[in-house]
Structure 1
Amino acid sequence: MSRWWLIAFALVMYLVFVVATLPAQFGLWLMPAPNNLHVGKVSGSIWQGQIGVVHWQGKIIKDVHWDINVGQLLLGRIEADIVAGQDMTSDIAITGTAGMSFSGWYADDIELAMPASVAAELSPLPLQVELEGMIDAQITVASQGSPWCSELEGVVTWRNPKVIAAALGNPFKLDNTRAQLSCVNGEVVAKVDDDKQVMGLEVSATLAATSYSVSGTINPGPQFPPGFEQGLMFVATPISNNSYQIELDGSL
């Protein structure tokens, strides 16, 4: 009997060795990439590897590194620590932990950075203006749900923001703006405010399965450009001497 146990143990150890040393490219053969995702040169193993460059929806993410957390496999999860896009020529930079379980995808301690122009192009919302500045996101926890999430906690900051539109003439400089993210009944909710020097935002935005809505107030601050009050009339309704109500909604 002991002989069979030794043979079985040797076989298991051999299989573990084979899997542990499989090249990362083998894993990509098993999981074909979506049409909007193109993967460059792959090196390393399935457990710890690197992709030279990833093209996703026309955006470039360079030097994608991953390190599989083997212990999570015992809990029925595939989880990896990820570092990507630290090269200055990447459109998106990201670090954190992401994984899949029987309940769907999840992510922890994600830090994300990209130009506002890139974020605008990736946004599911129909934007009619150009954006400048940098978008930084710190996502403490996020997990899959219906229609979007089951759990979400984080903050997104728009730094040195500008809005460019023909109707505005010169680029419109805004305050640094923050959005506190949460998940309510599967929908993404963002509580938005700023530094109260230009727009004075107090807004709540909701992303539902097939629609979005925005509700709140605009209270122009001391650095709000003179003469732009008339422009607010196109998106908001005056409710006092220096306050405007904003109510927007639409389909995705």
Structure 2
Amino acid sequence: MPKHSGVEFEDISGTLWNGKLTKVVYQGKFRAKELTWKLDWLALATLKLKADIEFDNDPRVLMGVGSVAYGMSGIIVSDVNVDMQATELLPYLQLPIPVTPSGKLTLVIENGMPGDPYCNELDGYLVWRGAKVATPMGNIDLSSPNIDLSCR
């Protein structure tokens, strides 16, 4: 990995085809522990390099599974399922007032392909179960909002 990519790895073991990392850090914010991958040999027949990945920081805090493929049309993600506590999003948000979210987020992406400006293909949804936000003015109960994801 180039040094300017913002991706750092620790304790890589295994092979290109089947392996494990004990820690991945992206741009100093996103951290995943116990990331494993296994290359799909059948995808090579369609001129794609495809890997099934899993990561697991702590099943109560952050975990995910999915497939990432690279082919003639670029990167494609499929069958992605990420579960995380809402508090894990705080480092990525710049909010004008201090808030503390609670509840569990589930992100599901059936198929996704990046594009200009954001995506060429996206089929998925995001659910925030037990959504609550604590603010200096009081607590807000949001129930369980559900967002459909697409490129539109």
What TM-score does the superposition give when structure 2 sets the normalisation length?
A: 0.86
**Greater RCO, CA 8 A, separation 6+:** 2
Give 1:61 shift: 1.1
1:177 aligned to which of 129, 145, 148: 145
Match of 1:223 in 2: none
Give 1:35 shift: 4.8
Would you say 1:70 and 2:38 are equivalent positions? no
Match of 1:39 in 2: 9
Query: Where do 5+ consecutive residues of structure 1 fail to align?
Result: 1-30, 185-252
Q: Compute the RMSD of aligned alpha carbons.
A: 2.0
3-state SS in 2 of match to 1:127: coil
Match of 1:79 in 2: 50
**CA deviations over 1:131-186 (Å, ceiling 9, x no partner):** 221111111111121111111111100011111222x2x322221110011112xx
Structure 1's 180 and 120: CA in aligned 2 closer, same or farther, altered over 3 A?
Answer: farther
3-state SS in 1 of match to 2:150: strand
Would you say 1:121 and 2:91 are equivalent positions? yes
Find the structure with the greater CA-based Rg: 1
**Sequence identity of aligned pairs in percent?**
26
Query: Where do 5+ consecutive residues of structure 2 fail to align?
Result: none
Could you tell me how far apart the structure 1 residues matched to 2:62 and 2:134 are?
A: 22
Q: How many residues align?
A: 149
What TM-score does the superposition give when structure 1 sets the normalisation length?
A: 0.54
Give 1:32 shift: 3.1
Could you tell me how far apart the structure 2 residues matched to 1:158 and 1:34 are?
A: 34
Structure 1's 73 and 34: CA in aligned 2 closer, same or farther, altered over 3 A?
Answer: farther
Kindly indicate whether the alpha-carbon contact (under 8 Å) linking 1:103 and 1:144 is maintained by their aligned counterparts in 2. Answer: no
- Whichever structure has more strand as a proportion of its residues is 2
Structure 1's 58 and 99: CA in aligned 2 closer, same or farther, altered over 3 A?
Answer: same
Structure 1's 114 and 103: CA in aligned 2 closer, same or farther, altered over 3 A?
Answer: same
Kindly indicate whether the alpha-carbon contact (under 8 Å) linking 1:140 and 1:153 is maintained by their aligned counterparts in 2. Answer: yes
**CA deviations over 1:107-154 (Å, ceiling 9, x no partner):** 11100011112224335xx43333221111111111121111111111
Q: Which amino acid aligns with 1:40?
A: E
Would you say 1:49 and 2:15 are equivalent positions? no
Kindly indicate whether the alpha-carbon contact (under 8 Å) linking 2:29 and 2:91 is maintained by their aligned counterparts in 1. Answer: no
Runs (4+) off by over 6 Å: none
Structure 1's 155 and 121: CA in aligned 2 closer, same or farther, altered over 3 A?
Answer: same
**CA deviations over 1:38-87 (Å, ceiling 9, x no partner):** 21101111000000111233343111110011222232221100111163
